[in-house]
Structure 1
């Protein structure tokens, strides 16, 4: 009986050896790759958390300089964030905010550069499109109308569609393209919720182009 079991075990052992000889290397490579992928995923998550924590600490430094209206320190801190943590939202936020401070301090060209960086390298599409919207405004101020329209064309986020149409209307009106401007303003008005105060601004622009406001239209209808 014992001899029979020994022979059966020996046969199973030979089968295992044969199987491992044929498939062992492949199994080892698959397991190694799986473990490496898991380790890499864990390491990447740790790296992301570490980067976010460091970027957050640096952003706090930037925020203090911004609140103090210290342009030099705020610009330097924003530059450090872009250099070391360009892929984080902190870098994009800092560049958007420092652009506003630069503009307030009369540094329009510096503000354009800050916004252009976000437009090209911002971590998320909404950041990039917000930067483009603001950049187009500065380009209009500089009478670079075609350049502003090109910047607006690059904005794809649907939540900015009405504001893009409004700004396109501004660019076209400044080029004395009144009918095209009117169409853009009407598109912008249709896309702005009725509860938004900015509707009155767009209505005022349309009024200058001979389009009556809602109140004027209602009054005209009542008189008929």
Structure 2
């Protein structure tokens, strides 16, 4: 089963967003002229730092090549040094490299690290989806279900339902799998995903 197949568009959209904005959005109430000056200084400093981090992330991940250990080490170091969204994105890139090498244990480690580094709900959802796919490959159905429970938002309902059905079926729970896929079909899923889940339901007999 291909680990990276359903949420790539969301990942690309997230990368574009953070590359274009170059700054984590921090909202606060600023009172007084002195506080406002301090805020502007801090904001400009943070904006510059974020742009530098974004540029470094783009450079390192563009050069990332699993066959070149030095590039993997460079991105690993970047992820370790940046406990923020860019670090999480770097961990996501590293996880794919490990999956390509069938090193699922290290892929899981990177995804779990990424989840600790970002508060962005959509990026957390992508990280959890990829983690669940790997756990499914590892035949850890209970861990898959627990990971899927951490994914919030209606936009992910169909993909979560598909994976939940696979996990339940692997546990021998055919009715649970049928119910999960039915929920996915009834959601605002893409026609292709709906058709796939319907085929899986049909195969249950």
Q: TM-score, normalised by structure 2?
A: 0.77
Matches within 5 A, 1:20-35: 34-35=32-33
Q: Which residue of the partner structure matches residue 214 of structure 1? A: none
Q: Which has the higher contact order (CA 8 A, sep 6+)?
A: 2
Bigger Rg over Cα: 1
Structure 1's consecutive aligned runs of 4 or more residues displaced over 4 angstroms after TM superposition are: none
Larger proportion of helix: 1
TM-aligned CA distance change 1:148 to 1:41, over 3 Å: same
Given that residues 76 and 94 in structure 2 are in contact (C-alpha distance below 8 angstroms), is that contact kept between their aligned partners in structure 1? no
Query: 2: CA distance between counterparts of 1:110 and 1:151?
Result: 17
Q: Which residue of the partner structure matches residue 164 of structure 1? A: 160
TM-aligned CA distance change 1:208 to 1:158, over 3 Å: same
Deviation at 1:95, TM superposition (A): 1.5
In structure 2, runs of 5+ residues without a counterpart are 1-30
Query: 2: CA distance between counterparts of 1:172 and 1:196?
Result: 23
Given that residues 65 and 71 in structure 1 are in contact (C-alpha distance below 8 angstroms), is that contact kept between their aligned partners in structure 2? no
Given that residues 71 and 102 in structure 1 are in contact (C-alpha distance below 8 angstroms), is that contact kept between their aligned partners in structure 2? no
Q: TM-score, normalised by structure 1?
A: 0.71
TM-aligned CA distance change 1:59 to 1:169, over 3 Å: same
- Describe the SS at the equivalent of 2:32: helix
Query: 1: CA distance between counterparts of 2:68 and 2:103?
Result: 10
Matches within 5 A, 1:141-152: 141-152=137-148
Kindly indicate whether residue 203 of structure 2 is the aligned counterpart of residue 208 of structure 1: yes
Matches within 5 A, 1:1-224: 34-66=32-64, 68-70=65-67, 72-87=69-84, 89-193=85-189, 195-210=190-205
Deviation at 1:99, TM superposition (A): 0.8
Query: 2: CA distance between counterparts of 1:118 and 1:196?
Result: 31
Deviation at 1:74, TM superposition (A): 4.0
TM-aligned CA distance change 1:35 to 1:160, over 3 Å: same
In structure 1, runs of 5+ residues without a counterpart are 1-32, 211-224
Deviation at 1:159, TM superposition (A): 1.1
CA RMSD of aligned residues (A): 1.9
Given that residues 115 and 131 in structure 1 are in contact (C-alpha distance below 8 angstroms), is that contact kept between their aligned partners in structure 2? yes
For these two proteins, the number of residue pairs brought into alignment is: 175
